[in-house]
Amino acid sequence: MPVLDLTADVCDLTARLVDIESVSGHEAALADAIEQELRRLPHLTVERDGDAVVARTALGRARRAVLAGHIDTVPTADNVPSHVAHDRLYGCGTSDMKSGVAVQLKLAATVPEPVHDLTYVFYECEEIEAERNGLRRLARTRPEWLTGDFAVLMEPTDGVIEGGCQGTMRVEVTVPGRRAHSARSWMGDNAIHGAAPVLEILRAYEARRPEVEGLRFHEGLNAVFISGGVAGNVIPDECVVTVNYRFAPDRTVAAAQAHLREVFAGFDIRVTDVAAAARPGLDHPAAETFVAEVGEGQARAKLGWTDVARMAELGIPAVNYGPGDPTLAHTKDEFVRLAAVTEAERRMRRWLTGREGEDR
């Protein structure tokens, strides 16, 4: 009996994927299982790099689409193995994003002659620091494996197409002070107290809600950490407020950084992490067709950051689409509606074959 059975129902396949734990950095067992089953399929050419597996058709079609999904999850929280209750599959990664990966695998196994050539990408380490991201590594070292005219990231979107993604930037705003004994506090300058203006700037900040290529984005600027203090009897000489800025795709990284320097004028700020945004690109012919056939003409803005940005850097227009609910991602009681998984497979199959319920 194979570890994975690609002839199984897509919901059963989702459950099996969840039951093979693959916390970020520990995806080898799942990557092995995916590689093993894909290599059984004669219509696919399969490559592996680290714990990323790439499978491609070579039918000579006029257009190539890339279907990508990460196989890692956040740490489990006593939510593996999976279980079903009330038409819901519960377990770590059900929503983010093993249900989307199950749809990819099911299509890879049962659609041998799609209307577009296809590249299926299964990659590791999306949920942790960017330098370990498997798709980032492939884009740098194996860009030819990712070549395509259009891409779909099977991220959880609750079955709604989400265009582009917002960028993210973290900065440290440092407030200086002067140490003193707390019994003689007037001889020092309390840096933690001095951070009050930074927090007031954040409290009063009005986030932009720009429309980009017809989609409404909603930015955010928030403190996510604050640190300071030396000892229980010392006036602190430094306080650092870590701020996360989520910026719309009408701003470049440089423009986003310039905006923060303007917002925190007079304070020392240092960028510690950044990822560019991606424009929706829904005017591309392949994207227009996908929205019409899979999204039934509807799309909205992706308010988080996803690897569509990496595709954009490669010049490939991309969208997010998957059966999971993003609001359930990373929660202990994470689940996916079984009907949503089946519906996502149905819509994707129709897009790839022009038919419904065939090639199963």
Are the C-beta atoms of residues 228 and 191 closer than 8 Å to each other? yes
Average confidence score pLDDT of the chain: 95
- Predicted local distance difference test score (pLDDT) of residue 58: 97
* 164 vs 51: CA distance, rounded Å: 26
- The model's confidence at residue 2, banded by pLDDT at 50, 70 and 90, is low
Q: Is the pLDDT of residue 1 over 80?
A: no
* 254 vs 267: CA distance, rounded Å: 18
Q: Is 88 exposed, middle or buried (0-12, 13-18, 19+ CB in 10 A)?
A: middle
Range 298-303 average pLDDT: 94
Range 212-241 average pLDDT: 97
Domain 167-275, what fold?
Alpha-Beta Plaits (3.30.70)
Are the C-beta atoms of residues 76 and 26 closer than 8 Å to each other? no
- Among the listed residues 35, 37, 51, 72, the single catalytic one is 72
- The model's confidence at residue 281, banded by pLDDT at 50, 70 and 90, is confident
Q: Is the pLDDT of residue 217 over 70?
A: yes
72 is catalytic: yes
Does the pTM exceed 0.75?
A: yes
Tokens of 31: 């990557």
- Predicted local distance difference test score (pLDDT) of residue 354: 83
206 is catalytic: no
Domain boundaries, the chain: 10-164+278-353, 167-275
Q: Is the pLDDT of residue 359 over 60?
A: no
- Among the listed residues 27, 124, 126, 237, the single catalytic one is 126
Dump pLDDT digits (tens) for 129-160. Answer: 888 999 999 999 999 999 999 999 999 999 99
Q: Is the pLDDT of residue 360 over 70?
A: no
Q: Is the pLDDT of residue 284 over 70?
A: yes
* 136 vs 333: CA distance, rounded Å: 30
Are the C-beta atoms of residues 124 and 72 closer than 8 Å to each other? yes
Parallel, antiparallel or unpaired: strands 117-123 and 64-70:
parallel
Q: Which CATH number fits domain 10-164+278-353: 3.30.930.10, 3.40.630.10, 3.30.470.20, 3.10.20.90?
A: 3.40.630.10
- Predicted local distance difference test score (pLDDT) of residue 11: 98
Instruction: Render 233-272 in DSSP notation, one character per residue.
Output: TEE-SEEEEEEEEEE-TTS-HHHHHHHHHHHTTTSEEEEE
- Predicted local distance difference test score (pLDDT) of residue 100: 98
Cα separations in angstroms, 83 against 16, 78, 158: 10, 12, 20
Buried b (16+ CB within 10 A) or exposed e, 121-152: bbbbbbbeeeebbbbbbbbeeeeebbebbbbb
Cα separations in angstroms, 332 against 82, 97, 108, 328: 12, 14, 30, 9
Range 227-240 average pLDDT: 97
Percent of the chain at pLDDT above 70?
98
Dump pLDDT digits (tens) for 155-214. Answer: 999 999 999 999 999 999 999 999 999 999 999 999 999 999 999 999 999 999 999 999
Q: Is the pLDDT of residue 26 over 80?
A: yes
Percent of the chain at pLDDT above 90?
93
- The model's confidence at residue 356, banded by pLDDT at 50, 70 and 90, is low
Three-state DSSP state, 38: helix
Nearest to 27 by CA among 113, 93, 107: 93
For 164, half-sphere exposure in the C-beta direction (CA atoms, 13 angstrom radius) is 27
Dump pLDDT digits (tens) for 91-128. Answer: 999 999 999 999 999 999 999 999 999 999 999 999 98
| Number of neighbours of residue 35 by Cβ within 10 angstroms | 18
Cα separations in angstroms, 258 against 4, 109, 263, 270, 293: 49, 48, 9, 12, 40
